[in-house]
A and B are shown apart, each in its own frame.
Chain A
């Protein structure tokens, strides 16, 4: 009942509304030009310095995924969920220089999206279109995950309707507010709110990792309680350590997720909004600090086991909110719920902006409305940012996988198919554009087919139940599991490589290359930086 949670609801409500007001006010923050331009609305003026970028990218990467989905996986399945830690460790050294190159070539040519880059690099509208559509579709389940995160906090406070439409009403209201300020302020809204989000989150984490073990008999006791639970359960894959069958899945998940993160359109948005190459590089060195927080939050899944917490309404995703509800004083639980809710709003806003930019630049202007003015471009983007959120809602209603985390992992399978054209394309123009299209089709087909084969053990659905596929499903005599995205992108790369060799041998003409090698190392020049309109003073 919501009446039992009144204190929490008031604290949550005040913080949530305060942040929303900040979102609307953000349209005036660091304003350098008219918001009726995609560089302003969609990239915040391309002038964010080190600190803002740190908060913005942190908001991009550490989301409801961190606070809700990862601990839920540890709570239910154990060690396998901890893959999120190696994933967010290896991603920075792995993609550091690729992202710096992406920044340079985009700065030089005024790209707003990864598909803009592909368009120029391969001089192919078709390939750019595929990359754009892939980005939009992959982003929707990731936004859906944020919805699930907010919903977990709302459910724990008893803010959940009885049936059908009203069941989702609270989340619809929260999302309407988000949609409104994203529409009016663009990327400045999440950039500004990210400060509040991170302050709240760090506050909650520090309290949680000190206070909870103290109440639960120390970390040793927490791990022992988790081990005992998994020992007693009938499920074969769980435990506080990996086993022979899921070790490969763990490694491929970490690697696949890291590559996927770098390809997601909202990562590009965060990177392109920064001021120069140095900002990007310094952030690659500083961002892992968040991963430590992520790892500790993940372990709250075990703390919930030790505390004997029961998920609300049988929904595993509520495990961390339910833990806070049980062990924190009511007012602080309210603060923690607000941290979760706001932590989901920031990335949801950035993701919808990124998807909207893709639609506008690479579908609308490219195919439907050539020569649209910057003002019209910005308007189309604003409207699309609303539509994308509806798409995310459809994912929540349509696909309800066993774990919320699978929404992000399914998105990962999709976005990984742009690895050859975007990721490898930043280094070499070797692939033939026709072969890249064939590879994309093969990888996407294989990925979706494998996802279709994955059953859901909890709901007994036969299909789309997760992202780890048993090799036995593919005709191999082995119970080992693997991340679908990893296999799919391997198919993609194999086809693209073979296709390139064949097309070259057959002398089929390939498009040109609209970029020069020096473009990939271009930087905003120092004198320009000094007289720059953008200053760090505001922070």
Chain B
């Protein structure tokens, strides 16, 4: 059995994709529309891309530090 280590200052990056989608007052608007999607919808779908990018980044960075 080996030991991993979770501690890394990069983990704080994970706070971004948690906090941003919860700040609904920032994007509770119809415009600007993108491909017919109101801002409220396309931006929240775009957050999916953000969370994939950030979690992947944190995973890579924490692996390198070890």
Contacts and interface: CB of A to CB of B under 8 A. Distances in A.
Interface of A: 79, 82, 85-86, 89-90, 92-94, 96-97, 100-101, 104, 108, 213, 218-223, 240-242, 247, 250-251, 254-255, 277, 281-282, 284-286, 288-289, 291-292, 295-296, 299, 518, 521-526, 528
Interface in B35-66: 35-38, 40-41, 44-45, 47-48, 50-52, 54-56, 58-59
A96 B14 contact: yes
B24 A247 contact: yes
Most chain B C-beta atoms within 10 Å of own C-beta, residue among A93, A96, A251, A292: A93
B59 A285 contact: yes
Given A85-B44, A86-B44, A219-B37, 6 more contacts: A97-B11, A100-B4, A108-B1, A251-B22, A284-B59, A289-B48
Interface residues of B, number: 37
Contact of A521 (B4, B33, B38, B48): B4
B37 A254 contact: no
A90 B51 CA distance: 8
A242 B48 contact: no
A523 B3 contact: yes
Contact of B24 (A222, A251, A288): A251
A72 to B, nearest CB: 17
Contacts of A85: 21, 44-45, 47-48
B32 to A, nearest CB: 12
A-side interface mostly: helix
B48 to A, nearest CB: 5
27 contacts: A82-B40, A89-B44, A89-B47, A89-B48, A90-B17, A90-B21, A92-B51, A94-B14, A96-B14, A96-B58, A100-B6, A104-B4, A108-B1, A219-B35, A219-B37, A221-B36, A222-B36, A240-B30, A241-B29, A242-B40, A285-B59, A288-B55, A289-B48, A292-B45, A523-B2, A523-B4, A524-B1
Contacts, number: 128
Contacts of B3: 518, 521-523
Contacts of B22: 86, 90, 251, 254-255
A151 B6 CA distance: 44
Most chain B C-beta atoms within 10 Å of own C-beta, residue among A82, A86, A291: A86
Contacts of B38: 223, 240-241
A241 B6 contact: no
Contact of A282 (B15, B24, B51, B59): B59
Contacts of A281: 59
Contacts of A282: 59
Nearest to B2: A525
A295 B44 contact: yes
Contact of B36 (A100, A219, A251, A525): A219
Contacts of B6: 97, 100-101, 521
